[in-house]
Amino acid sequence: MIGAGQRILLVGEGRKYFLKAGAGTFSTDRGKINLDEAVGATPGDILRSHTGCEFTLIIPKAPDFFEYAKRSGAPMLPRDIGFVIALTGMNRNDRVLDAGTGSGIAAIYFGGIADHVTTCEIRPDFARLAEENVRDAGLPNVEVRAADLLDVQGTCDIVHLDMLIGPEHVRHAHSLLVPGGYLACYTPFLEYLFGVMDEAERLFSEVKAVECIEREMTRSKRGTRPSTRVGHSGYLTIARK
């Protein structure tokens, strides 16, 4: 059942609303919705506006938080987060350290898979926002810290960096990883990619770099083909200890 204050997604009438159950009345161009009616409901139940428009209640998943949650900047795209998960083999046994939290979107994705996620954000205001998003996602296994990566101690299976990365960060990540663990570094420009690769190749047994890119498919009366728009976002370096 849905609890008071829990994040919900209402879908219907060509609209999607990212809301909290039990937060009073929400006004839309399809009428007013009484969110108190969501408390005690179950996913798939119907909520009706005062004009009779129907909305299906569902529980938000990580892609919904990417689309609707409050942001402190531009988060990694879901496809790029997926690259990290796939290329590191992230699973339910892993302890993950994520640095450069931002809005906490990557940490939310990782929290749905890994055993435990510690995510570090050097800016306290960003950390507070990320903590709110993680709490709304209902992930008690994700810990948000307002801290510098270089101050983190302990061991982990995977380190993910989405920040301005220097050689000292690569070295520190290496010191935290267990044998066989993975470092994943997201970099927006080739110059930063080269810096990460240069240091990683000195320390790690395996280093691989990929460009994060996709092409949408377009359909017309003439047929279906890849879009001419190039969906480049950045570069990902995966290094194994």
CA-wise closest residue to 116 among 146, 135, 144, 136: 144
| Statement: the pTM of the whole predicted model exceeds 0.85 | yes
Determine the average pLDDT of the residues in 49-59: 92
Q: What average pLDDT is seen over the chain?
A: 94
pLDDT score for 111? 98
Q: Which domains does the chain have, with CATH numbers?
A: 7-58 (3.10.330.20), 64-240 (3.40.50.150)
* Identity at 12, one-letter amino acid code: G
Query: 226-240, pLDDT tens digit by residue?
Result: 776 768 889 999 999
User: What is the average pLDDT across 92-108?
Assistant: 97
Alpha-carbon distance of 104 to 131, in angstroms, equals 7
**Cα separation, 239 vs 200, whole angstroms:** 7
Q: Does 189 have pLDDT greater than 70?
A: yes
DSSP 49: -
pLDDT at 158: 98
